[in-house]
Amino acid sequence: MLIIIDRSPRRTQDTKFPERFWRGARIPLMKTSELLSKLNRFTSRIAGAMRRLAEVFFGNFSWRPPGWLNRTVAGCGRFERAHPRLIPSAMIVILVICCSGAWTWNWYSHLPKPKKVSAKIVPIEVTKLEKELKFQRLVIYFTESAARLEDLKKPSVQGVRLEPHLSGAWHWVQGDILVFQPTEDWPADQKFSVIFEKNFFPRHVSMERLVHETQTPPFSIAIKELEIYQDPTNPTRREISATLELTHAVDPGELDRHVQLNILGGSNIFSANDPAPHFTITYGLHQRVAYIHSSPIVLPDQEDFLKLAVTKGVRTAQGGAQTRDTIEEKLRIPSVASMFQIDSIQTTIARNKNGEPEQLIVLATTADISTRELAKALQIRLLPKRKVSEAEKQAEVESSEDADQTSDDSAASNEETESDNDSVGSQVKETELWKSATDVPDDVLDGARPVVFAPVESEKPQGRQHAFRVRVESDGELHVRVNKGVRAFGGFPLSEDYS
């Protein structure tokens, strides 16, 4: 007896989607359109062409997707087969959501914005060092009037504060300018927050934000003076003198831990019996000026250099802010032979007490000396014109001919022609000038005419600026010489002649 078993799926009237129960076959419920199929084939061809082009230039790359990606793709495939009509619906929903979001954002961005008032704080500056300190104000500018009418007449207003607290008062200068006047100095390198209360402004004023921040300047120190001080009453006493200017006050003794005096060349300018640190510090105006005075020094046999350094970390008395960098400056320590030198010589014309012009020669020295003592070593002579050689004359003639040819060829004005002629005449005079003091021969110098001079009295008996009155009525050059051997205050000699 044969039993025939029919493995084909049974069709019943109650089954809604019989094709889903077929084994090994699936009849799609929705057919892909012909245009979409062509688009897929076209995209595949482009992708294949790009892949082959990439292989030509870069070669073959092998990549194996990770397990989680394979599982995700497989899950998506199973979901698509199980719910074939849900995928197009989901894509339509996503498209609608994206379009709705774009339209909503465009609508929101074109809505009229509420007008906000902003504020700008002017940076706080360091309080100027004066006999009477005037603490810097904190000024706030608003983009438009933000004050209540009743607050404009008040000497101080409430509803705004500083954190951390600083004594002072707030007041309106005008409707868009608010000022805080402190009664104490601002601490260095401190961040402050300006906090407004909501009811500080009128109702129609909408502030951009109610909290603003500002910061005070950092604490710094500057070396204003550094020199060798010579005691005017004691010629043997010399010391290093320096002046420091601070942006904020410090406690006494704070600088002593940070000031250093170092001799770079190793010379011993301090006495062997003088213990370190070889200096004392005194304070001046409002504890913001410090004067450094060293122990008496002795000039070394060879020139050396002293370095004054103020290390970082100096603390202020208010707030405890510290300096961020080390400052330093160098000072030349001359030897006994180089202590006294002629620094410069200049000629000038000045009017005396009667208003008459006078010819003056001004000498600057590196050490204090009496003007009358310096006059004993001073010689002033009027040099004759330098004789011009034949080669210089020929060069002068050629230069003059070139200048004339240029003036003839050009279509210059009469003023330009006169300027050219003047320039030629000045060149002729320059050839008769001496190039330098060392260029003058001894026989010419001996034959030069001495010039009578008179020292101009100064208020100080010793000084470093010395003026001498001369009277020269003819053209020429003056040769000024200071003979060696003259001694400055303290017994320092001029080691070489100066011309």
Residue 143 belongs to domain with CATH number: 2.60.40
Task: Name the domain boundary from 200, 215, 230.
Answer: 215
Q: Give domain status of residue 225, yes or no.
A: yes
Closest Cα partner for 416 from 402, 406, 426?
406
Residues 323 and 255 in one domain: yes
Pick 235 or 424 by higher pLDDT: 235
Residues 260 and 195 in one domain: no
Using alpha carbons, list the distances in angstroms from residue 2 to 7, 8, 10, 352. Answer: 16, 18, 21, 153
Pick 4 or 161 by higher pLDDT: 161
The DSSP result for 35-98, as a single string, is HHHHHHHHHHHHHHHHHHHHHHHH--------HHHHHHHHHHHHHHHH-TTHHHHHHHHHHHHH
Exposed / middle / buried, residue 423 (Cβ in 10 Å: 0-12, 13-18, 19+):
exposed
Report whether pLDDT(417) > 90. Answer: no
Residues 226 and 345 in one domain: no
Task: Name the domain boundary from 307, 333, 359.
Answer: 333
Residues 269 and 155 in one domain: no
Judged by average pLDDT, the poorest of 68-82, 216-230, 322-336, 379-393 is 379-393
Round the average pLDDT of the chain to a whole number and report it: 81
Of all residues in the chain, the percent with pLDDT exceeding 70 is 81
Number of domains in the chain: 3
| Per-residue confidence band for 391, with pLDDT thresholds at 50, 70 and 90 | low
* Angstrom distance (rounded) from CA 265 to CA 290: 27
Domain containing residue 376: 337-397+428-499
Residues 157 and 240 in one domain: no
Judged by average pLDDT, the poorest of 77-91, 214-228, 335-349, 396-410 is 396-410
pLDDT at 366: 85
| Per-residue confidence band for 407, with pLDDT thresholds at 50, 70 and 90 | low
pLDDT at 215: 94
Report whether pLDDT(153) > 50. Answer: yes
Residues 492 and 371 in one domain: yes
